[in-house]
Amino acid sequence: MTPTTRGVLLTYAWVFLVGNLVWEVVQLPFYTLFREWFNVTVRGSWTYAPAMPRLPPLGTGLAPLLQWLAVPSVAFALARRKALNASCKRDGCREDVPRG
């Protein structure tokens, strides 16, 4: 693989990763809040237990929102760490590149 091809592929991979991260961490929590509000308030599909902490503006549960913030963030961090370690094993480690 030529250096130019590798650079293009790495750039594409980085853009794809950042795009997915933005989608997962920024946009999906809003979708989750909407769906929680819609299913609890409009459709009446389920109710929360009295002990469930709720967010004041919409009355949606706190746990679903925290799941959409925590799980994708941890998954992307672990994937990045694994990719950096694999790259280090394949190409050799550089001391100026943080490996998470």
Over the stretch 1-24, which tens digit does the pLDDT of each residue have? Answer: 566 776 666 677 777 777 777 777
Q: Are 63 and 46 in contact (CB under 8 A)?
A: no
pLDDT in tens, 33-64: 888 889 888 999 988 888 989 888 778 888 88
DSSP string, 5-32: HHHHHHHHHHHHHHHHHHIIIIIHHHHH
Q: Report domain extents, the chain.
A: 19-91
Q: How far apart are CA 24 and CA 19, in angstroms?
A: 9
Q: Which two tokens stand for residue 56?
A: 């004041």
The contacts of residue 1 (CB under 8 Å, 6+ apart) are 9
Q: Is the dihedral of CA 26, 32, 35, 37 positive or negative?
A: negative
Residue 98, pLDDT > 60, answer: no
Q: Which of 1, 29, 16 is nearest to 76 (CA)?
A: 16
